[in-house]
Structure 1
Amino acid sequence: MSMNGCKSAAVSCKETLYTYNVFHMVKAFFPEAEIRQTVDEEQEPLVNLVLDGGSCFSVMPDQAVLCLTGVDRNERKKQVTRRIYDWLAAYTGKQLAWGTLTGVRPVKLAMNRLKAGDGEEEITAFLQREYQVSEEKARLAAQIAEREKVLLDRLDYKNGFSLYIGIPFCPSICSYCSFSSSPIGLWKDRVEDYLEALFQEIRAIGDMTFGRKPDTVYIGGGTPVTLDASQLDRLLSLAEDTFPEAVSGKGLLEYTVEAGRPDAITREKLEVLRRHEISRISVNPQTMQQKTLDRIGRRHTVEDAVRSFWLARELGFDNINMDLIAGLPGETAADMQDTLRQIEALCPDSLTVHSLAVKRAAQMGQEKSEACNLEHREISRMIQDSADAAKRMGMVPYYLYRQKNIAGNFENVGYARADKAGIYNILIMEEVQTIIACGAGSMSKRVYPDGGIERSENVKDVALYLQKIDEMIERKRKLLED
């Protein structure tokens, strides 16, 4: 049975406790399947799963002793998930790289064990035993946790916060993208309106955090450099005026602008970023295959990506990240190998390799593209080749996260040379510092001393953000008040 051999499945759970994990387990094994899910408190099975063609499996209360009333809910859920996983693995003849894990931050499990005193071997064995994670991925999580802890232990971040500024515009929308981003051409007459609202929010954050300073600033999107040079200059100047001790005083641990799309990068814009002493930028081709760039709606050439990279180097940027995506439609492992060969010739300071995640909101998801149908082994080869290329460039994996509907049930990994790891990426993945985010579609997270987290999300629609900016600011004020 192929992992893509099931087109529909029906899942019925006795309680909502099991619905999330069971849904995502089935989806991981059968990414193209339409899953109908119900909750029936009167049914006897804890979970009943029926695949098209009639194959079925049930988890009965007497099959899972830990599912008895009074047993810890998380343990009950874990045991039921394990039984569903074991049956699907036997049925398909496949094992998932991350086993029964459905969350986006597997390294947090490793980090918790590390803080409890476990070493790499103990953490690896724990993830294999408790969650059926492959040895390769379990060891990767353990090693990344160790690197993150070393970095976090030497940083002074506990009394500060990180600031995220979102620019929700792109030159065009990639077919796989589900971010809250709009083509700049549709908003060219209202970009100034957006900046006015964004500046209002940034100033309000300055008032709310008076006496505290950001440790990192990350300007993302979208594509921030869709703004013209003068707009970028005004945005960065406002940040400096609002947080003078950190930004103007160069007290930041890291100052990132995701330059992103090569078709929006110009010398004039990069010169603005240099004047404001941005310490880290991204030039993100996603692939170095022209046929793929054309297919996914990225209106730039491979040569544009090379030109943008060398222009940034010429202007003195010494911490440049590049993003790639494994599993883009029509690409093979050979295509990825060619892309990696071209990236190695550029020799960036860090490399982030994403496994394609197709969300329903994306054009590709709505069209049910064949991108989801790549063979598991093909994507696995792409990921391994990427890791090998990063190693040849002197990089090590330093952060990792996963997404829903991710190709092959794999992961996204950031690789970096010594002292070039993205600090903001680690802080947000480990959820150890408050992130205050502004702009349409951004999300703020307050991290409390006891580890508790509270969130406040800005509306995604740009027009609605303009209308409701006062409400967005008030939400943030409530989130941050003592």
Structure 2
Amino acid sequence: MIIQLIDNTFSYEMQKLTMAFFPDRKVLVDPDEVPEGENEFITVTLTKEPLTVSAEFRNDAENLRSTASEVVEEGDDPELAAGRVLYRALSEVTGIQPQWGILTGVRPSKVMTKHIDAEGEEAAKEYFVHRLYTDPKKAELAAVVSNAERAIMDTTTEESISLYVGIPFCTSRCTYCSFVSESIASPRAKKLYPAYFEKLLQEIEVTGQIARETGRVLRTVYVGGGTPSTLSAEQTKQLLDTIHASFDFSHCSELTFEAGRADSITEEKLRACLEGGADRISINPQTMTDSILEAVGRRHTVQDVCNVFATARRVGFENINMDLIAGLPGDSPENFARSLEDVIALGPESVTVHTLAYKRSSSLIPTKELFARGQETSAMVDTANERLAASGYAPYYMYRQTRSVGNLENVGWARPGAESAYNVFMMEECQTVFACGAGAVTKLLVPGTTDIIRVFNYKYPYEYVDRFDQLIANKSKVRAFYE
């Protein structure tokens, strides 16, 4: 599919919005050459006197055509107006109405916060519905999350930081996963793991030294992955001891260890986490159906999840998160509802409901099938919203991913007082985050602004190990930021 822009530069938003309607298409913007056999075209035009945007979709093979136009009102953003006309044109030809309207970004609650601050909550929700074409339920969700996030964001200061530590290894690779992680079962990973762990401890020590030298105040820590519980109990203790030795914990209110999959969690590891200062863990079944666990490559059962949860309680963890994924292959709204009830019955302090994000290979799936899956997944998300709210949980952070089924969202739900401050700080980019490990990204918040300067670590574990000296030298950018 080709997008042609006339007298405007709205390429990114037009491409992302088009992908919400046609997730199976490769969308090119103003290519130098039109691929042979291409028959689907979108034209977005900006004209003056009066300032007007128009959009046309045409499929030459099927003789389909749809158009829409709008005069840009004084004070309005022409790019948003272009999004609205493209939305109307594509809705007419496809019959699809994405629930987030023309919003294509990762952080819809951040947009909501901006408008609440400017015109109040009710006006902000009206703006979402009538100007951004957002479904009223999604506008309400964004407002609730915005208010919850604000309460947590208000606790941070200019000197505050969070720490992320990445363990990019898993016991096996799930079929749906698009993250950078390696199965520890592979010969390469087995050889690489000890060297990676040694370098990671060194990076944590260097990062802690930078934090002390620059007067940073540690607020939260998140050990994620991958699956951090692929570490042995001894390694877990060593990792957490190194973090404590490298940073001042006098103002740290949260240390999350993403234990992850039940097949790599043991009582010994859980005790090492608790003794190492972790006060929040995540146990992530993704589904409570054995056949689906097997189909997606999980090497554990639902009973294993229940056993691990009980062990975590017995060991002494009082703040446990559990993850579910809506839209897994083979799942249904009815089956997802049963998984949700099973998780609620266990009684975790928080539940995160993710929407499956398709890997790029899913481009072979036809649009009609993707749309049908999106409708089913939307029903799952609606059920989660209703049942979690009725069970005493409230949404406190939210984000979206590219290529998510149904163009939907991921939402963190928590009981009062069990919210993860790290999740809010990270997703709303309201605090500096120092990051260690392969694929980790340090985010430096420019004081007095919302601007972020990113310092990237090498993406793959083998690069991280092989180029470690260069990675450490690159940390000078963090020091220089505070000079």
The counterpart of 2:64, out of the listed 55, 59, 83, is 55
Task: Give distance in 1, aligned partners of 2:422 and 2:279.
Answer: 12
SS in 1 for 2:30: strand
Q: 1:334 corresponds to which residue?
A: 334
SS in 1 for 2:88: helix
Q: 1:87 corresponds to which residue?
A: 89
Q: 1:145 corresponds to which residue?
A: 146
* Contact 1:13-1:48 at 8 Å conserved across structures: no
After superposition, the Cα gap between the structure-2 partners of 1:374 and 1:441, relative to the gap in structure 1 and judged at 3 Å, is farther
1:12 aligned onto 2:4: yes
SS in 2 for 1:386: helix
Which structure 2 residues correspond to residues 231-250 of structure 1 after superposition, within 5 A?
A: 231-243=235-247, 245-246=248-249, 249=250
Paired letter, 1:457: F
Structure 1 residue 13 displacement after superposition: 2.4
Structure 1 residue 208 displacement after superposition: 1.5
1:157-187 per-position Cα deviation (integer Å, ceiling 9, x unaligned):
4311010000000011111111110001221
Structure 1 residue 369 displacement after superposition: 9.7
Which structure 2 residues correspond to residues 24-423 of structure 1 after superposition, within 5 A?
A: 24-39=16-31, 45=45, 49-51=57-59, 53-57=62-66, 63-66=69-72, 75-116=77-118, 118-119=120-121, 121-153=122-154, 155-186=155-186, 187-210=189-212, 211-243=215-247, 245-246=248-249, 249=250, 251-360=251-360, 365=362, 368=365, 372=370, 374-423=372-421
* Contact 1:437-1:444 at 8 Å conserved across structures: yes
Q: Which TM-score applies when normalising by structure 2?
A: 0.89
Paired letter, 1:460: K
Paired letter, 1:20: Y
1:259-316 per-position Cα deviation (integer Å, ceiling 9, x unaligned):
0011110000001011112111000000011111111111111111111111101111
Alignment size in residue pairs? 457
Q: 2:37 corresponds to which residue?
A: none
Unaligned stretches of 5+ residues in structure 1? 1-8
* Contact 1:225-1:269 at 8 Å conserved across structures: yes
After superposition, the Cα gap between the structure-2 partners of 1:115 and 1:45, relative to the gap in structure 1 and judged at 3 Å, is closer
* Contact 1:11-1:49 at 8 Å conserved across structures: no
Task: Give distance in 2, aligned partners of 1:57 and 1:39.
Answer: 22
Paired letter, 1:221: G
Q: 2:49 corresponds to which residue?
A: none
Task: Give distance in 2, aligned partners of 1:239 and 1:367.
Answer: 44
* Contact 1:440-1:461 at 8 Å conserved across structures: yes
Structure 1 residue 337 displacement after superposition: 1.1
1:207-262 per-position Cα deviation (integer Å, ceiling 9, x unaligned):
2111323110000000001011111111111001101x21xx4x312100100011
Structure 1 residue 36 displacement after superposition: 3.9
Paired letter, 1:217: V
* Contact 2:57-2:90 at 8 Å conserved across structures: no
* Contact 2:284-2:324 at 8 Å conserved across structures: yes
SS in 1 for 2:292: helix
Task: Give distance in 1, aligned partners of 2:174 and 2:8.
Answer: 35
Task: Give distance in 2, aligned partners of 1:259 and 1:303.
Answer: 17
Compare 412-421 and 121-130 and name the one that shifted more: 121-130
After superposition, the Cα gap between the structure-2 partners of 1:369 and 1:29, relative to the gap in structure 1 and judged at 3 Å, is closer
Q: 2:472 corresponds to which residue?
A: 473
SS in 2 for 1:385: helix
SS in 1 for 2:378: helix
Paired letter, 1:274: L
After superposition, the Cα gap between the structure-2 partners of 1:374 and 1:282, relative to the gap in structure 1 and judged at 3 Å, is farther
Task: Give distance in 2, aligned partners of 1:49 and 1:462.
Answer: 44
After superposition, the Cα gap between the structure-2 partners of 1:460 and 1:84, relative to the gap in structure 1 and judged at 3 Å, is same
SS in 2 for 1:132: coil
1:377-412 per-position Cα deviation (integer Å, ceiling 9, x unaligned):
311210011112212321001111101011111100
After superposition, the Cα gap between the structure-2 partners of 1:168 and 1:367, relative to the gap in structure 1 and judged at 3 Å, is farther
Task: Give distance in 1, aligned partners of 2:392 and 2:92.
Answer: 39
SS in 2 for 1:189: helix
Paired letter, 1:131: L
Structure 1 residue 64 displacement after superposition: 4.8
Q: 1:4 corresponds to which residue?
A: none
Identity of aligned residues (%): 38
* Contact 1:283-1:309 at 8 Å conserved across structures: yes
Task: Give distance in 2, aligned partners of 1:341 and 1:44.
Answer: 46
Structure 1 residue 89 displacement after superposition: 1.4
Q: 1:6 corresponds to which residue?
A: none
SS in 1 for 2:286: coil
Unaligned stretches of 5+ residues in structure 2? 34-42, 47-54
Compare 159-168 and 85-94 and name the one that shifted more: 85-94
CA RMSD of superposed structures (Å): 2.4
SS in 1 for 2:9: helix
The counterpart of 2:438, out of the listed 437, 440, 448, is 440
After superposition, the Cα gap between the structure-2 partners of 1:401 and 1:159, relative to the gap in structure 1 and judged at 3 Å, is same
After superposition, the Cα gap between the structure-2 partners of 1:217 and 1:297, relative to the gap in structure 1 and judged at 3 Å, is same
